[in-house]
Amino acid sequence: MPGDQVSSPESRVPGAASRVPLLEARDLSVSIGGVRVVDGLDLALAPGRSIGILGPNGAGKTTLLLTLAGVRGADGGEIRLHGTALARMSRRTIAQRLGMLIQNTRFAFDASCLEVALSGRHPHLPALASESAADIDIARAALAAVGLAAMEARSCRQLSGGEQRRLALATVLAQDPAVLLLDEPTNHLDPARQVEILDGLWRRLHQPGETLPGGQMMALHDINLATCYCTDVLMLFGEGRWEFAPTAEMLTENRLSRLYGCPIRAVSDGRQTVFAAAGGPPAAR
Partner 1 sequence: MRVNAPFGTRARLMIGVLAAFAAASVGLALLWGNGQVAWPDTAVDWRIVGEIRLPRALAALVTGSLLALAGALMQVLLRNPLADPYVLGVSGGAAAFALAGMLLGLEFVPVELRAFAGAMVSSLIVFVLGRGRGPWSTARMLLTGVVMAAGWGALISLMLALGDDQSLRGMLFWLMGDLSYAGVSAWWLMAPAVLLLLMMARARSLNVLAAGETQAALLGEAPKRRYAEIYVVASAMTALAVAIAGTVGFVGLVVPHLMRMIVGADHRRLLPAAAIFGGAFLVLADTLARNLFSPRQLPVGVLTALVGVPLFLLLLHRSGRGR
Q: Which residues bind partner 1 (CB under 8 A)?
A: 66, 69-71, 90-96, 99-100, 102, 105-112, 114-116, 119-120, 122-123, 125, 127-128, 130-131, 136, 152-155, 157, 164, 175
Helices (H) and strands (E) in the chain, counts: 9, 12
CA atoms within 13 A of residue 183's CA, in its CB half-sphere: 19
Tell me if 125 sits within 8 A of 135, measured CB to CB: yes
In the complex, least distance from residue 191 CB atom to partner 1, rounded to whole angstroms:
24
In the complex, least distance from residue 270 CB atom to partner 1, rounded to whole angstroms:
43
In the complex, least distance from residue 156 CB atom to partner 1, rounded to whole angstroms:
9
d(CA 92, CA 209): 27
In the complex, least distance from residue 95 CB atom to partner 1, rounded to whole angstroms:
3
Tell me if 11 sits within 8 A of 29, measured CB to CB: no
In the complex, least distance from residue 17 CB atom to partner 1, rounded to whole angstroms:
26
Cα 94 versus chain centre, distance? 15
**Which CB sits closer to partner 1, 185 or 238?**
185
φ, ψ for residue 19, nearest 5 deg: -90, 15
In the complex, least distance from residue 20 CB atom to partner 1, rounded to whole angstroms:
22
Tell me if 28 sits within 8 A of 79, measured CB to CB: yes
DSSP per-residue codes, 181-224: EEESTTTT--HHHHHHHHHHHHHHHT-TT-SS--EEEEE-S-HH
**Which CB sits closer to partner 1, 179 or 256?**
179
**Which CB sits closer to partner 1, 160 or 268?**
160
In the complex, least distance from residue 84 CB atom to partner 1, rounded to whole angstroms:
16
Question: Positive or negative CA dihedral for 136, 149, 199, 65?
Answer: positive
Tell me if 50 sits within 8 A of 216, measured CB to CB: yes
**Which CB sits closer to partner 1, 85 or 248?**
85
Q: At what angle do helices 133-145 and 161-175 cross, to 10 degrees?
A: 140
Tell me if 278 sits within 8 A of 263, measured CB to CB: yes
**Which CB sits closer to partner 1, 107 or 202?**
107
**Which CB sits closer to partner 1, 92 or 206?**
92
In the complex, least distance from residue 1 CB atom to partner 1, rounded to whole angstroms:
18
**Which CB sits closer to partner 1, 98 or 220?**
98
CA atoms within 13 A of residue 66's CA, in its CB half-sphere: 14
**Which CB sits closer to partner 1, 133 or 283?**
133
φ, ψ for residue 85, nearest 5 deg: -60, 130
